[in-house]
Amino acid sequence: MQKEILDQLASAALDKTPVNGYTHNFYRYPARFSPTFASTAINLFSKRGDIVLDPYMGGGTTIIEGMLQGRRVIGIDLNSLAVFITKVKTTKLTPSEKKIILNWVKEVIPILKYNKTVKKIIDDLTDKRLKNMNFPKAKFIKKIINEALILIDNLPSQNARNFVRCAILKTTQWALDGRRSHVSLQQYRYKLHENIYKMLYKLDEFILTLDTQYNQFPNCDLYESNAEQIDKIPFFTSDNKVDLVVTSPPYPGLHILYHRWQINGRRETPAPYWISDCQDGQGDSYYNFGSRHQPNHDSYFETSLKTLQAIRQVMRSNAYIIQLIAFSNPYSHLPRYLANMELAGFTEVKKNSYKEFSDSMRIWRDVPNRKWHANLKGKTSGSKEVVLIHRAE
Ligand SMILES: C[S@@+](CC[C@H](N)C(=O)[O-])C[C@H]1O[C@@H](n2cnc3c(N)ncnc32)[C@H](O)[C@@H]1O
């Protein structure tokens, strides 16, 4: 592997520009990686028309960047919310669907209220998806959303309904998740209005870029699936093998809240599933390769091995897998992770010069402002991520 390629990947991994551009900001998916990193990895390790896979796609960073570079992209995640968000970010709207959305903005947003409910579609007491939505700052927002969702149901297009749900998701995440101060009805309405216009603009920009660059709109297939069962996905045949994987798997010892918002301190709500009309999973261990409290993280490494083996099955020989991964305890977890990679049939490509971390063979980066539950041990903070480059044997 040429040194220049690794240098370019290293500088992309160290890029600290906030996530921006195209449809990336339709939702702040936890632990998303930078579009620059995904785009550079795709550019350096694959060519136009190649099949690029992200088996833990989260908010779809790899998917969007892969489409922009004319790759055939496949995204997989067992979180239905991740699939919903990535789908909205990558779906082309027709002029009539855009008109439906703009009419909804004009007719519905000004009449959204919280002191009268048009019709009750939620049962506050029994609907589990509304857990912790009764705090003063959340309760009136819950009522506004309830009204908004009823008025989405009448829209005559699934794409338009999904788009508006995603805008409500984005606006409510802004209004509630980790926020200390209250948001007024006026502010909520204003933000929702602004978000829909900005999102339509960003989606247009994305679609226009694709339309002007490619004769055919780049294909992207998204699957709600456990990566362990990737070989069951009919797309993968002996003729359709993956040329490149760019991904960020769950992290050992670091539990990320992919499926909850935190309101009123650390109270968690599953409201994102209610708003997006998605099925919730089975608690945080479902999305993190096992329980936060597992001794030695054995179940993490067992699940990780099974998924890596399954991913290897759908890759062609000599294809690369580029991962960005964080460890709560790199000194014990990194060797175990690397052993799994080897067992699954991958060989590591190492970088020989590196300044910032004692491990000089790999690219490490700091992660600012990351929220997670870490079982911290050793000297290294839980907010260091490493780039791993492997080749399928
Ligand atoms: C670190 S996040 C990926 C973030 C993504 N790179 C982005 O930019 O948004 C890891 C993802 O893995 C998903 N995941 C966890 N276990 C999985 C499994 N067994 N199969 C597929 N996806 C899984 C989680 O739901 C989460 O979305």
Question: According to the model, what pLDDT value does residue 355 have?
Answer: 43
Sorted by where each starts, the structural domains of the chain and their CATH numbers stand as: 3-90+219-253+292-392 (3.40.50.150), 95-210 (no CATH)
Cα dihedral sign, 287-291-296-301:
negative
Q: Which DSSP letter does residue 251 get? A: B
**Candidate from 74-83, 334-343, 358-367 with smallest mean pLDDT:** 358-367
Q: What is the CA radius of gyration of the chain?
A: 21
pTM of the prediction? Answer: 0.93
Q: What are the phi and psi torsion angles at 252 (to 5°)? A: -70, 130
Q: Atom 15 of ligand 1 has which residue's CA nearest to it?
A: 287
pLDDT digits (tens, 9 = 90+) for 124-148: 556 788 888 888 888 889 989 988 9
Q: Identify the pLDDT of residue 201.
A: 98
Our answer on whether the CB atom of 380 is closer than 6 Å to any ligand 1 atom is: no
Q: Is the CB of 310 under 6 A from ligand 1?
A: no
- Give the residue whose CA is nearest to atom 27 of ligand 1: 58
Ligand 1 centroid distance, CA of 366 (Å): 20
Say how many Å lie between the CA of residue 59 and the centre of ligand 1. 9
| pLDDT tens readout for residues 66-93 | 999 999 999 999 999 999 999 999 999 9
- Mutate which of 15, 26, 74, 78 for ligand 1? The one with the most ligand atoms within 8 Å of its CB, which is 78
Q: Is the CB of 311 within 6 Å of ligand 1?
A: no
Kindly state if the Cβ of 32 falls inside 6 Å of ligand 1: yes
Calculate the CA dihedral of residues 254, 306, 78, 286 and round it to 10 degrees.
-50
pLDDT of residue 38 exceeding 90: yes
Distance between CA atoms of residues 365 and 387, nearest Å: 8
What pLDDT shows up at residue 139? 86
Amino acid at 1: M
Q: What is the mean pLDDT of residues 287-314?
A: 91
Q: How far apart are CA 31 and CA 58, in angstroms?
A: 8
Query: Strand pairing partners for 326?
Result: 385
- Say yes or no: CB of residue 258 within 6 Å of ligand 1: yes
According to DSSP, the β-strands at 373-374 and 254-255 are antiparallel
Indicate if ligand 1 lies below 6 Å from the C-beta of 29.
Answer: yes
Pairing, β 267-269 against β 261-263: antiparallel
For a ligand 1 pocket test, name from 40, 287, 370 the mutation site with the most ligand atoms within 8 angstroms of its C-beta: 287
**How far apart are the CA of 341 and the centre of ligand 1, in A?**
18
Cβ proximity of 254 and 372 under 8 Å? yes
At 231-260, the pLDDT tens digits run: 999 999 999 999 999 999 999 888 889 999
Q: What percent of the chain stands above pLDDT 70?
A: 90
